[in-house]
């Protein structure tokens, strides 16, 4: 019974992969998906956090730091799981894969997806919960973008759908942990030692 269920899940994983990777390609979508997949990585989200830090005021600086914490946490867990699971990339294990963006490490889980869900949820929900804030809508486009990053990773041929799903779950868990404990982390003695209070009060526009 378990073997049959596992076999069915693996077959479904392959079916979804070929449906996304092999049946909807065109030049315009290739360009869009490559742009999304590049922006959804650790470097893209780091730039986004830096922009929020610079232009978001004191509240934005706090959100940016929490976003970077979530990004760091998700990537540490992804690196650990990639090392433990060591699943080959689809283009190394399957025939007829449309590869648009080569990758060299293991496939499971999707680091881009984990990064995107972790950082997008922290940023979006922090603004969503902001008292009398004017950015309450931010969570919706950010969450949509995170979903598109996951789809793009399958589209460009470097992840299975289950890699993406597990990466999303991992990113959500990281985001919830940072949302629950992040404020305390920023006010801890360790944060004080590293000058986090001064960082939060720093304003580049006044320099």
| Tens digits of residue pLDDT in 97-156 | 888 888 888 999 999 999 999 999 999 998 876 655 555 678 899 999 999 999 999 999
Distance CA 33, CA 55 (A): 28
Quote the distance between the C-alpha of residue 154 and its chain's center. 14
What's the maximum distance between 2 C-alpha atoms anywhere in the chain? 66
Buried b (16+ CB within 10 A) or exposed e, 133-149: eebeebbeebbebbbbb
Query: Does residue 144 contact residue 124 with C-beta atoms inside 8 Å?
Result: no
The pLDDT profile of the chain, 207 residues, written as one tens digit per residue, is: 666 666 777 888 888 888 898 877 888 999 999 999 999 999 999 999 999 988 888 888 889 999 999 999 999 999 999 999 989 999 888 888 888 888 888 999 999 999 999 999 999 998 876 655 555 678 899 999 999 999 999 999 999 999 999 999 999 999 999 999 877 777 666 555 445 555 666 655 554
Phi, psi of 23 (to 5 degrees): -115, -5
Report the pLDDT value the prediction gives residue 172, as an integer from 0 to 100: 97
Give the integer Cα–Cα distance in Å for 10 and 183: 41
- How far apart CA 75 and CA 153 sit, in angstroms, is 16
Q: Where are the domains of the chain?
A: 25-88+106-206
């Amino acid at each position: 019974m378990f073997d049959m269920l596992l076999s069915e899940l693996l077959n479904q994983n392959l079916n979804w992969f070929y449906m996304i990777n092999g049946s909807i390609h065109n030049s315009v979508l290739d360009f869009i998906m490559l742009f999304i997949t590049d922006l959804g990585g650790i470097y893209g989200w780091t730039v986004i956090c830096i922009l929020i830090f610079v232009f978001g005021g004191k509240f934005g600086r706090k959100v940016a730091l929490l976003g970077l914490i979530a990004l760091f946490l998700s990537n540490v867990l992804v690196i650990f799981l990639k090392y433990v699971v060591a699943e080959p990339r689809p283009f190394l294990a399957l025939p007829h894969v449309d590869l648009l963006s080569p990758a060299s490490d293991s496939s499971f889980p999707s680091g881009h997806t984990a990064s995107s869900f972790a950082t997008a949820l922290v940023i979006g929900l922090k603004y969503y919960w902001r008292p009398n804030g004017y950015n309450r809508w931010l969570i919706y486009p950010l969450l949509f973008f995170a979903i598109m990053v996951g789809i793009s990773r399958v589209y460009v041929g470097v992840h299975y759908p289950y890699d993406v799903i597990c990466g999303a779950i991992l990113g959500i868990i990281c985001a919830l942990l940072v949302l629950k404990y992040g404020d305390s982390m920023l006010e801890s003695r360790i944060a004080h030692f590293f000058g986090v209070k001064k960082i939060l009060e720093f304003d580049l526009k006044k320099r």
